[in-house]
Each structure stands twice: as structure tokens, then as C-alpha cells.
Chain A
Amino acid sequence: MRINSPADLMEIREAYSKVLYFPEFTKANIGMASCGIAAGARTSYQKAIKEFLGENGVQICQTGCIGLCEKEPLVEILKKGKPRVIYKHVTEDKICDVIHDYMDGRFDKKLILGQMRDPRSLLEERVEDPLGKVEPLAETPFLEDVPFYTKQVKIALRNCGYINPESIEEYIARGGYAAFLKALFKMEPAEIIQVIKESGLRGRGGGGFPTGIKWESCASHDGERYIICNADEGDPGAYMDRCILEGDPHSILEGMLIAAIAIGSHHGFIYVRNEYPLAVKRLVNAIKRARDCGLLGENIADSDFSFDIKISTGAGAFVCGESTALMASLEGKVGRPRAKYIHTVQKGFRNNPSNLNNVETYANVPVIILKGGAWFSKLGTSESKGTKVFSLVGKVKNTGLVEVPMGITLREIVFDMGNGIPKKKKFKAVQTGGPSGGCIPERFLDLPVDYQKLAEVGSIMGSGGMIVMDEDNCMVDVARYFLDFLKEESCGQCNPCREGIKRMLEILSDICEGNGKDGDIELLEELGGMIQKFSLCGLGTSAPNPALTTMKYFRDEYEAHIIDKKCPAGVCKALFHYEVDAEACTGCQLCSLKCPQEAIIGEKKQLHEIDQGKCIKCGICYDACKFDAIVVK
């Protein structure tokens, strides 16, 4: 099957809209991204396949992740003329019952996350609403009204969880590749760049550089130009790129194809982390399917435009997320960054003009081409346009991926969508921007999230990781954690980064071990400032951010460590011990049963006691106690 014209596309679209929205059989879509699989989706899938094998009335399919990872495995069940219901925590033992119940018209509210109001993507406005004539379920919330989803606007994640990621037809059915054909047949390269510039789209990988300007600059340099996708999502705590790669790989290919027309390139590369095997598998499949359809390769859609994409896998180096290091790694070399006196848009991969954007940036491009730059720029704030995907993780009840318009407040994200902190603990900070970002304290919770505002409080947008921390997290330890990470990941080329980070880490480790001294904070600040100024690449210049912001906003915790020799959060082992609260302890013996050191003694229904000599402060008792009777001293 070759696709040569918008009419060919339309034909597939119509045929597969039926598969997507009006299945004659009961269809169960099981969320099979890595997170779903880790929560048990694969065993559920296998169980369902086995149970319904040969049964004509049921179809078991796989899809990507719809974001609310906390409730996984998530399964959506639909049939023509019936409501589309999303079930949560559908583990192996529940999957068959859930499907049978749906078929029999029984709906157990406890298992239901919500029902879909309108499953169409934002590229399908002209398609008839598949649920328009369907009677919704009574007393069941619409997914769009579940607080986790109400404020979301899905552009980059438009297809994740809605299509089978291994089906190019389903991607096309939801409006896929229409933007590419429009760019190919109806637009001049300069016009494409103009639309992207007008949209205000900025790089979603961390730097936030305006995408249109980057494209324009790359197109202006002579030579064999390359289109590269940075899928080396290294920021710990951020996984939106993985979700897009696994759930909607064609959106990235389409974004790259459009960039290739705009810039005038014939060769594309996707540099993807080795830690994401499923993403690699889905990309390989997507590229193969696109080639089969004549959307990649020579003379695409019978035009004289040719473009193909190669996948390269990384091998575990954080610094390879940096553009010049990534290009060195693509060349099969050690991934060391270089000074950017000459930008990569002029001399990058193989010393030729190279355009590098990240996964989420490319995923936004097709929508902008179809709906226009002006439409996109209406979303967001004055300097930051459109939406951003955040991974809301850490100490928050609803963990998962959210795509929200820029300018939404941290409070809305953490407390409305995330539903606050579990176990009635107190919010302490939210860390954004990965190891290059900072920790934002409670008093800035009403800060609108955009590139500018986050920078003003000493953090960055980064790739969109948002790690929530509560009272049990020690901010000195968090700073030490990031510096330890960066010490390992520094490529070792330039002195300020290699030696400076190491020295900062030594001082922080001393503080955490109870050997902090007067003047340490000032020394850390001085060192941090120096590393920021003189490091060669972005890794070094942003490395001190986590330490500097925690020192600025949580200075009392540093002082408690240095002066009082106490870790108030109970993380730094040398600076605290556990005790049993005599009033709260009920003598239930749970802690003493779980203690691996047999360090807790006490008869049933009697007050327990911890033998400090035996205790290794592993925290098992602290986590296990249901009465908050184990306390940090």
C-alpha cells in the first residue's frame, strides 16, 4: 500500500475510523507502555488473549499510556453504540471479569476510572462524534471531568493511549500524515518555517530555544543537512518522551519529515536511549511501516522529495543529551561536548548543518502545520506558547503524565491534578528541570509555569520532570543526590565541571555525615557561581542549580545539619535515630516482625523499644507503622 495523495490518506482514514470508533465487536484496549507493563499489563493482556481466543465477539488490543500511571494497568473497553469505559488497576485476576461485565452490561463503579465523553483528537473536528448518539452510563464520571484530566490539553500526547502504536493506519485515522502531505504538496519551505516561527514553539528538551529560528538558521547553511531527533531522555524523573515514543511513534516521524522539507534534508537520525527497549522496538516498527507506505525513502508520495531515518541507540551517558555530545556519539565516538562558537545548525553531525529537536517538539509540529501558528500561539503565556507535558512523580497521589497549557500554576498541577501528598504528609518542594533545575518551595506554589517564571526562581523548565517532595525528604540530601549524579555523568573534559562538582559534592557529603562546618554554605555558593560561569557546556553551567536553590530556600535545613547536627527529615543516617513514641505505640508488633536486624523488642500490646546498637536505620519500621509511633529524633 503506497500513499501518494491526500485522497489515499482519506481512504485509510475512513476505513480505520470505523475500527477505532465503531467496532462491531467488544474491543479491549490494554495500556501497554513500559509503565503499564511494569504494573502488570502484559500478564493481563496474555490472560485476556488466552481467555477470548477464538471468540468472535471480543478483540484484545494494545495501546500506549493515557497518562494516569498511578492507576495502571488501565484498560478501555468499547463497542459500537455503547459507552467507552476506562477501568483502573485491571490486573490479571480482574481482566476477564471486567470484559465479561462490560459485555453483559454490568458496571462495577469501583473498577471504573471514567467514561470517555469524546475520544476524538484535536485533528478530527470534522469527523462525526462517535459517542454523540450513545447514552452515557449513569453516575459514572466522564474522564474529562476527573480532576487529573480536566485541565489537560492534549497536543503532543494526542494519540497516546488512543491508538495501537504499531498501526500506521490508526495514526492516519486520527489525522496523522495529513500535515506532512500538506507541507509537501502545498507549502514552500519558507512558509513552513514561518508557521513554526509564528506558533512560538520552543524546544521542549530543556533549552527552550525557538524552534522556527533554529530551522531557519539551519536551512540557511550550505551542505548536506541532517535532521536529528534527541530521544536520549536523560533527566531522571522525566518520561514523557518515552511515552510518546512508545505510544505514538509516527507523530515523531511526521514532525521530522516536515522539518526535513522545511530545512531541505534527506537524512534523519533518532538517537534513543538504550534504557528504552520498547521505544526502540516501536520506532523500528514505525519506520518500517512508513517505508512500506512510501512515506519514508526515495520519492516520497511520488514526489521528488526523499528522506529516510536511521535509529542509533545510546549507551548510558547523561551528557549525550547535550547537542554536540549527542552528535559525537552518533558518529560512534565518546560523547564529549565541544564549545559552541560555531553552532550545530552550521557545523554539527559529520561537520554539516544539523537540526536537533527533541521528541516532544517534533510531536507538536504536525498539529501546528494543520491548525496554524496563530492557533498554537493563543495557548500559553506571552513568552511560552502552547502546552507542555510534565511528569508528575514523587510524593504525590496521582502520579503520571499531564499535558497542560503553559502558565498553569504549580498548585493546580500538584494539588488539583496530582491530588496532593499521600499519607497526609506535608508538601515541601517541587523539583523541576532535572539535575539542571532547582527545588521550588511552598511559597511559590502559585507561580505560573513557563520558561521565564521558572528561571526567575532559580529553576528551569527542562524537559518537564516535576518531582514532588514532602516532609520526609531532606533537601541537603537532594542537593547531594544531584551532585553525585552529575559527578558521575560529567564527561571530565573541563576543569570547572570535573573538579568543581566533585568539591561541592565532598562538602555536601560532609554536611550529610555530620562533619559540616561553619562557612560551608558560603563556600558552596562561591564554588557554585564559579562552575556556572566557566563550564564548557550546559551540564556544567547548570549543575550547581539544585544546590544553590536548596541553599536559598531551605537554608534552615542546612543550618540544622551543620550547627545542630540534626537531619530533621530523617534521611542522613549519621544525624538522626528512630525512637518509639510511647503514647502512639499500640504494641501491634508489626515493626518488630518486619525489622531485618531484630532490633525492636517488646511484648504484644506492650510498648516497644528500639535497640540503637542493632538498628541500621533502614526505615522499614517507620514505613510499616500504621500509628505513626516510630519517630525521627
Chain B
Amino acid sequence: MNVAKPLHVGDHQEIDFMELDHIIEQQFNNDKENLIMILQAIQRRYNYLPRPALKYVSEKMLVPLSQIYGVGTFYSSFSLEPRGKNIISVCLGTACHVRGAHKIRERIEETLDISDGETTEDKQFSLESVRCIGCCSLGPVVKINEEIHGRITSDEVGKVLGHYAEKSIAEQDS
């Protein structure tokens, strides 16, 4: 059960409403049953669910904003706040847990100075714990963006995160 969070209002991105129309109408036939997948498409685009986009979906699809907010907070993969450039998902499935996943999470928290669910000040990393990504045989597993790092050890955490930080800096420079 998620704790209620305010819909984010500050520093939001420009919303491309034409694109939203395309998602709602072309991809998902303006069908209310596809609401979850529409929100997923929006999150893929903006990295979170911006309030103006949700408001637009509400008006366009005639679904009360409260209901959209309900869906957005019930399912754990949605975020109502902007997230970092790199999403770190620490798997806390049972197989990873018994192989010390909590220690890995602690190392990441210490290295980045953030807690679970938070984003670093420079907006480079967000840390999210997830429940089983199905790579149990390789536990403990950490997924960063789309890449899965299996059999990770506490003392490798710094090196792996450093790799992503460098990559981000390189992308900014180029």
C-alpha cells in the first residue's frame, strides 16, 4: 500500500499534447481499460507522470483525475515525481534477499547518500527497490536502466555506479 503523495507541480517539463493524443487515441483506442498502459507510455516518455499530462488524460478520456491518481499511486512502478537519469532497481526478491541484497542496497545508499525511493541532488541517480525481476539464479541482482548486473557484491557497487556516472558526464560533454 503506497503512502499518499502530492501530485508533483514544480519544475515540470513541457508536455507535448499532440503526442499524448497519439498515445491515447492511436496506440490505445481511447479505451479506459488501457489506462494503465497509457500511463506507462507517458512514464516512458517523461520518466515520471507529470500532473498536466494526467489532467489532460482525465479530460480526454473522461476518467476522473482522482481515479487516475488512484491508479498512479496504487501500482508501484509509477512515479509522480521526476526521477533521476539513471534508475537503479535493487531486486529484493527472496533469492536476492537470502544472498544479501539488503547489504547491496545499503552500500548504494551510502555511496550515493540517498535512501530508497530518493533521487540524488544532481538528478543523476534514483534508487528504487523492486520485488523480483526474475533473474533469481544470479542473485543478488541490480538493474540499472535496462542493464542487469548479476551476482553483484558489496565491494563492486562503487565501481559499477562510477561507470554510469562517467557515462552520464561523457554524454553531457558531447
Complex Cα gap A485–B94 (Å): 10
CB distance from A576 to the nearest CB of B (A): 14
* Interface residues in A, total, Cβ within 8 A: 65
Q: A239 to B33, Cβ gap below 8 A?
A: no
Q: B138 to A236, Cβ gap below 8 A?
A: no
Complex Cα gap A489–B153 (Å): 28
B135 cross-chain contacts in A, Cβ below 8 A: 34-35, 38, 239
CB distance from B167 to the nearest CB of A (A): 16
Complex Cα gap A79–B34 (Å): 47
Nearest B-chain residue to A349, judged by Cβ: B33
Q: Which residue of A69, A619, A624 contacts B137 across the interface (Cβ within 8 Å)?
A: A69
Contacts A312-B36, A618-B154; A481 near B97 (Cβ below 8 A): yes
Binds B, one of A1-9, A300-308, A314-322, A529-537: A314-322
Question: Does B136 sit within 8 A of A, measured CB to CB?
Answer: yes
* Contact string against B for A residues 618-633, beta-carbon threshold 8 Å, 1 for contact and 0 otherwise: 1110011000000000
Question: Does B127 sit within 8 A of A, measured CB to CB?
Answer: no
Q: B107 to A317, Cβ gap below 8 A?
A: no
Complex Cα gap A60–B136 (Å): 27
A37 cross-chain contacts in B, Cβ below 8 A: 148
Q: A316 to B130, Cβ gap below 8 A?
A: yes
B47 cross-chain contacts in A, Cβ below 8 A: none
Contacts A38-B135, A393-B136, A619-B154; A316 near B77 (Cβ below 8 A): yes
CB distance from B147 to the nearest CB of A (A): 8
* Contact string against B for A residues 303-339, beta-carbon threshold 8 Å, 1 for contact and 0 otherwise: 0000000001111111000000000011111110000
Q: A236 to B131, Cβ gap below 8 A?
A: yes
A234 cross-chain contacts in B, Cβ below 8 A: 131-132
Question: Does A399 sit within 8 A of B, measured CB to CB?
Answer: yes
A70 cross-chain contacts in B, Cβ below 8 A: 137
Question: Does A86 sit within 8 A of B, measured CB to CB?
Answer: no
B93 cross-chain contacts in A, Cβ below 8 A: 236-237
Q: A313 to B37, Cβ gap below 8 A?
A: yes
Question: Does B98 sit within 8 A of A, measured CB to CB?
Answer: yes
Question: Does B17 sit within 8 A of A, measured CB to CB?
Answer: no
B36 cross-chain contacts in A, Cβ below 8 A: 312-315, 329, 332
Complex Cα gap A314–B34 (Å): 11
* Contact string against B for A residues 108-145, beta-carbon threshold 8 Å, 1 for contact and 0 otherwise: 00000000000000000000000000000000000000
Question: Does B134 sit within 8 A of A, measured CB to CB?
Answer: yes
Question: Does A467 sit within 8 A of B, measured CB to CB?
Answer: yes
* Interface residues in B, total, Cβ within 8 A: 49
Residue of B92, B97, B155 with most partner-chain A CB within 10 A: B97
B76 cross-chain contacts in A, Cβ below 8 A: 315-317, 488
Question: Does B52 sit within 8 A of A, measured CB to CB?
Answer: no
Question: Does A82 sit within 8 A of B, measured CB to CB?
Answer: no
Chain B residues 20-63 with CB under 8 Å of chain A are 31-37, 39-40
CB distance from A539 to the nearest CB of B (A): 12
Binds B, one of A160-168, A441-449, A490-498: A490-498
Complex Cα gap A434–B136 (Å): 13
CB distance from B54 to the nearest CB of A (A): 14
Nearest A-chain residue to B78, judged by Cβ: A315
Q: Which residue of B40, B131, B134, B138 contacts A315 across the interface (Cβ within 8 Å)?
A: B40
B98 cross-chain contacts in A, Cβ below 8 A: 394-395, 467-469, 473, 478
Q: B131 to A485, Cβ gap below 8 A?
A: yes
CB distance from B115 to the nearest CB of A (A): 15
Contacts A485-B131, A492-B1; A237 near B77 (Cβ below 8 A): no
CB distance from A129 to the nearest CB of B (A): 31
Complex Cα gap A395–B150 (Å): 15
Question: Does A285 sit within 8 A of B, measured CB to CB?
Answer: no
CB distance from A271 to the nearest CB of B (A): 10
A498 cross-chain contacts in B, Cβ below 8 A: 1
Residue of B78, B100, B136 with most partner-chain A CB within 10 A: B136
Complex Cα gap A317–B89 (Å): 16
Nearest A-chain residue to B136, judged by Cβ: A393
A553 cross-chain contacts in B, Cβ below 8 A: none
Nearest B-chain residue to A279, judged by Cβ: B134
* Contact string against B for A residues 27-47, beta-carbon threshold 8 Å, 1 for contact and 0 otherwise: 000000011011100000000
Binds A, one of B5-13, B67-75, B80-88, B118-126: B67-75
B132 cross-chain contacts in A, Cβ below 8 A: 234-239, 275
A623 cross-chain contacts in B, Cβ below 8 A: 100, 153-154
14 intermolecular pairs with C-beta atoms under 8 Å apart: A69-B138, A72-B138, A236-B132, A237-B95, A274-B77, A277-B146, A313-B37, A316-B76, A329-B36, A391-B95, A391-B136, A394-B95, A400-B137, A623-B153
Given contact pairs A316-B75, A317-B75, A335-B75, enumerate 13 new A-B contacts (beta carbons under 8 Å): A237-B94, A275-B132, A275-B134, A312-B34, A316-B130, A332-B32, A332-B71, A465-B94, A465-B136, A489-B1, A596-B154, A596-B155, A623-B100
Interface residues of A, Cβ cutoff 8 Å to B = 34-35, 37-39, 69-70, 72, 233-239, 242, 274-277, 312-318, 329-335, 391, 393-395, 399-400, 431, 434, 465, 467-469, 473, 478, 481-482, 485, 487-492, 498, 594, 596, 618-620, 623-624
